Amino acid sequence: MSVKNNQNFMERIISPSMLSADFGNLDRDTRMIDRSAAQWIHIDVMDGVFVPNISFGFPVMKPIRKASDKVLDVHLMIVDPEKYVARFAEAGADIVTFHYEATQTPREAIRLIRESGAKVGISIKPKTPVEVLHELLPEVDLVLVMSVEPGFGGQSFIEGSTDKVRELRKMIDEAGLNVTIEIDGGVSAANARELYEAGCDALVAGSAVFKAADPEAEILKILNA
Ligand code: DX5
Ligand code: ZN
């Protein structure tokens, strides 16, 4: 799959999470990420049902898409994702990631995302073991491992998450698949190196980037950790 580049050249990807951006200055913050070394832009959609928080939906996609040509990496924390995945792709999502725990019909969600032309991502919460993905791995482009309970930025990284990444990397490599591994929650320059080395291709970072005095420099610090 092509979210990641070829396997011999493991590019380190960073996907700053707009959840920590200043929504009064969304255009400014999106343009700042667009200028930066970040390759992706992470967009967290929450419905107040799958997670105990509500973030934003389609209208916010528009100004972000307008301000940047970078890969829009949309993380849906919503129940019944099947109902909405096509609309997120239409709104400009390049990757649409849904939660394994949010649907009874993951294959249908995968089919609908594929049909929309976006790359397919599937995410698991911290307590969901990677084994549940075994059968689905050949059908997806990306797995998003949550390293905090989804719902809020600024939480601490759950330590066991690095082992989940290693396990997942092994499963993917043993099956000879080309699936991108992304991790989300509590990521900073302090743990970035360990995460890339454990087998992550892409790191999501919200507060570490936006709360930094110099977010663009912080992005480079994480990429070069
Ligand atoms: C949490 C979101 C994350 C969040 C990460 O549910 O999925 O993307 O923005 O924030 P930090 O990097 O601050 O943990
Ligand atoms: Zn996220």
158-209: pLDDT as tens digits: 999 999 999 999 999 999 999 999 999 999 999 999 999 999 999 999 999 9
Identify whether 44 is a catalytic site residue. Answer: yes
The pLDDT > 90 percentage for the chain reads: 96
| Ligand 1 mean position, distance from CA 109 (Å) | 23
Residue 4: the pLDDT is 53
Closest residue by CA, ligand 1 atom 4 = 153
C-alpha span between 200 and 126 (Å, rounded): 16
Q: For residue 75, which atom of ligand 1 is closest to its CA?
A: 7
C-alpha span between 161 and 168 (Å, rounded): 11
What's the CATH architecture for 13-223? Answer: Alpha-Beta Barrel (3.20)
Catalytic residue (one of 29, 94, 184, 201)? 184
Q: For residue 209, which atom of ligand 1 is closest to its CA?
A: 12
Mutate to test the pocket of ligand 1, among 29, 77, 148 (most ligand atoms within 8 A of CB): 148
Is residue 178 within 6 Å of ligand 1 at its C-beta? no
Query: Domain limits of the chain?
Result: 13-223
Is residue 147 within 6 Å of ligand 1 at its C-beta? no
Is residue 150 within 6 Å of ligand 1 at its C-beta? yes
pLDDT value at 113 more than 50: yes
Ranges of H-type helices in the chain = 26-35, 58-67, 85-90, 106-116, 161-174, 192-198, 207-210, 215-223
Is residue 16 within 6 Å of ligand 1 at its C-beta? no
3-26: pLDDT as tens digits: 654 444 579 999 999 999 999 999
C-alpha span between 94 and 70 (Å, rounded): 9
- The secondary structure of 49-115 as a DSSP string is SSSS-B---HHHHHHHHHH--SEEEEEEE-S-GGGTHHHHHHTT-SEEEEEGGG-S-HHHHHHHHHH
77-89: pLDDT as tens digits: 999 999 999 999 9
Taking the whole predicted model, whether its pTM rises above 0.85 is answered as yes
Ligand sitting nearest the alpha carbon of 206? 1
Is residue 184 within 6 Å of ligand 1 at its C-beta? yes
How far is CA 126 from each of CA 100, 165, 185, rounded to the nearest angstrom? 12, 11, 10
Residue 10: the pLDDT is 73
Identify whether 47 is a catalytic site residue. Answer: no
51-66: pLDDT as tens digits: 999 999 999 999 999 9
Q: For residue 150, which atom of ligand 1 is closest to its CA?
A: 6
Is residue 73 within 6 Å of ligand 1 at its C-beta? no
| Ligand 2 mean position, distance from CA 17 (Å) | 7
